[in-house]
Amino acid sequence: MKGQYKTKISKYLINSLFLVGSLLYLSPALQAQYSKGQMIDKIIAKVDDYIVLKSDLDRSYLEYVSSGQEGGEEVKCGIFESLVVTKLLVAKAEIDSVLVLDEEVQMNLSQRMQIILSQIGSEEKLEEYYGKTVEEFEDELFDDIKEQLIADKMQRTITEGVTVTPSEVKRFFNRIPVDSLPFFSTEVSIGQIVVIPEVGDNQKEQAKSKLLDIRESIINGPDLTSTYGDWTLSLNPGNILELNDNLDNNYTGSWEYAVNDRLLTLTLNEISFTANEFQFVWKLTKYGGDSLRFDNNDFNNTSKFTAVKIDNESKESPVINIEFLLGSWKITSFNGDGQDFAELAREYSEDPGSARFGGDLGYAARGTMVPEFEAAAMTMKPGQISEPIETDFGFHLIQLLDRRGNEFNSRHILIRPDFTALDFDKAEDFLDSLKNAILYDSLIFEKAAKEFSDDDATSGNGGFLVDAAGSSRVSVEDLDPVVFFTIDTMEVGQISNPMRYRMQDGKEAVRILYYKDRLRPHKANLKEDYQKIQMATMNEKRKEVMEEWFDRAKNEVFIQIDDDYKYCNVME
């Protein structure tokens, strides 16, 4: 496309979040309106293995015009082009090995779901409006969001080297007719330094301990010690085998050792535990690691359980011997079965994306998982369960299900350590010290933000919030309500006290706000709005780079446009 039409449409391509085409859900009212017609869906574009459906275009167009924007065939063609270009970006990303981690997709999905639920009101209302469960709704969004993130990353890769000079900015501004210069409302410069509380060692140990208990349940079964008498098994000096229950009763018996079949016969007479589980004669078999399997061999009773060492002095042995038996044991499994990994993942895992699938993450290629997770999974044998593995997301219990070439299929149980009040107090004290250092001129705010802020979105910009155009002066109309009402009680130049808040990714954090500047409503000019004009110039240049890339890339992949939409001239 050339000329005015191409220039107008390019606004759909340059926005780094692909605003049009990324609207992955409709409001309930629009959903109802969209559902009234009984349209037969069809493929209207194909880019390699990626397709655009008519319903995709209709849904995006409906959402666009319902937001108050002007519609029409030209706009619909622009949206159609954005959808095709998104598919082209994804197809080329696959060829060029531009990847997005599933963890990033899940985090983005969780953020979107929080927004959707806050607008609709509750999970129950969402399910009522859309006629599907939250899980089904998330499943539908996952692949769309992944495509969107890949396309966004590919676009950044294409345009990452674009820069503009002051003379280019000036020429761009001078080309704008005076009567077309935009009018800006009241704008403010707001900086923030964010600290995510550091989880204490105690919380980390609690998370690891919880995972170790879960691992033990999977391997040897749940801890049923209290259920069956809260007992311990000990082999004391003198080869005396002793059972102790929670009622301070002691029971001793004799044992015999047979090397050939690695069995011990344990005879305990006149013992009565719950359900008579420990009466009569039992055989002990070394079961693996520091565990024993007890099989009741009397009266054709097939009940069995596993006992696991609870001390740190046990010794591995190919057969059962005195050193192996020496120490204390606890019962962990009845009838010899460990608990199901998938069942425990659904119950305990704090990864909402995989928990409902029993922790199953599906097949992943090398480089798609965080390094610590991948390193552990790729060194395991199928069926093996890891020790707790720490990543930025928390602690994982990983089971490798399968490996084929450079791909592996695994499942996990994620436990995130919890913050304590003390962790927040430490973060607040640290921000207080930064605030005082800035106020007494021993530290510059921008430098402190770059060095200490945990918010990646603002730290690189000296801590300052930016608008959609990348300017560090933000319209008061676009401010988060909490930020707006906070600065409404402050004077320009002040720094707020530390306050807790929730980041966009759902993490709890503490921040201080710096109210640096306030600018009155005015018509755009180079002196006061250089940063905005510079960003507009940059976007214009990025648009040209993207158009050049599109002209090359469209010849490197298979693209097919339905005859009913060729009038949009997407391929020209």
Q: What is the pLDDT of residues 424-471, one digit of tens each?
A: 899 999 999 999 999 988 899 999 999 999 998 899 999 999 887 778
Average confidence (pLDDT) over 141-167 = 91
One-letter amino acid identity for 218?
I
Q: How far apart are CA 132 and CA 192, in angstroms?
A: 40
| Predicted pLDDT at 4 | 32
Average confidence (pLDDT) over 400-406 = 88
Average confidence (pLDDT) over 54-61 = 89
Average confidence (pLDDT) over 238-265 = 58
pLDDT at 561 over 80: yes
pLDDT at 38 over 70: no
- Ranking 57-61, 225-229, 256-260 by mean pLDDT, the lowest is 256-260
Q: What is the pLDDT of residues 212-227, one digit of tens each?
A: 989 988 987 777 766 6
For the CA atoms of 343, 348, 354, 359, the dihedral, rounded to the nearest 10 degrees, stands at -50
Q: What is the pLDDT of residues 505-514, one digit of tens each?
A: 667 899 999 9
pLDDT at 267 over 60: no
| Predicted pLDDT at 47 | 93
Tell which wins on pLDDT, 153 or 27: 153
Average confidence (pLDDT) over 403-424 = 88
| Predicted pLDDT at 314 | 54
Which residues, 6+ apart, have CB-to-CB distance to 139 below 8 Å? none
pLDDT at 278 over 80: no
Q: What is the pLDDT of residues 480-496, one digit of tens each?
A: 899 999 999 999 999 99
Tell which wins on pLDDT, 75 or 37: 75
Displacement of CA 562 from its chain's centroid (Å): 37
> Residue 356: what are its φ and ψ, rounded to 5°?
-70, -15
pLDDT at 415 over 90: yes
The pLDDT mean for the chain works out to: 80
Tell which wins on pLDDT, 445 or 198: 445
Angle in degrees, 0-180, between the axes of helices 28-36 and 54-66, rounded to the nearest 10: 130
| Predicted pLDDT at 274 | 41
Length of the chain measured in residues? 572
- Ranking 238-252, 325-339, 411-425, 504-518 by mean pLDDT, the lowest is 238-252
Average confidence (pLDDT) over 103-123 = 77
| Predicted pLDDT at 473 | 87
> Residue 46: what are its φ and ψ, rounded to 5°?
-135, 130
Percent of the chain with pLDDT over 70: 75
Q: How far apart are CA 552 and CA 462, in angstroms?
A: 37
- With cut-offs at 50, 70 and 90, classify the pLDDT of residue 260: very low
Range ranked top by mean pLDDT from 37-46, 74-83, 445-454: 445-454
- With cut-offs at 50, 70 and 90, classify the pLDDT of residue 109: confident
Average confidence (pLDDT) over 470-475 = 85
Displacement of CA 433 from its chain's centroid (Å): 32
Q: What is the pLDDT of residues 417-435, one digit of tens each?
A: 887 788 889 999 999 999 9
Average confidence (pLDDT) over 264-293 = 57
Whether pTM > 0.75 for this model: the answer is: no
Instruction: State the DSSP string of 170-188.
Output: HHHHHTS-GGG--EE--EE
Angle in degrees, 0-180, between the axes of helices 341-348 and 201-220, rounded to the nearest 10: 150
pLDDT at 9 over 70: no
For the CA atoms of 503, 509, 510, 516, the dihedral, rounded to the nearest 10 degrees, stands at -30
Average confidence (pLDDT) over 346-371 = 87
Tell which wins on pLDDT, 276 or 452: 452
| Predicted pLDDT at 220 | 77
**Cβ proximity of 474 and 163 under 8 Å:** no
For residue 29, count other CB atoms closer than 10 A to its CB: 10
Helix/strand/coil percentages in the chain, nearest 5 = 40, 20, 35
- Ranking 119-123, 353-357, 533-537, 551-555 by mean pLDDT, the lowest is 119-123
- With cut-offs at 50, 70 and 90, classify the pLDDT of residue 264: low
Average confidence (pLDDT) over 189-208 = 90
Tell which wins on pLDDT, 325 or 481: 481
- With cut-offs at 50, 70 and 90, classify the pLDDT of residue 292: confident
Please tell me whether residue 46 adopts helix, strand or coil conformation: strand
Q: How far apart are CA 3 and CA 418, in angstroms?
A: 56
| Predicted pLDDT at 230 | 62
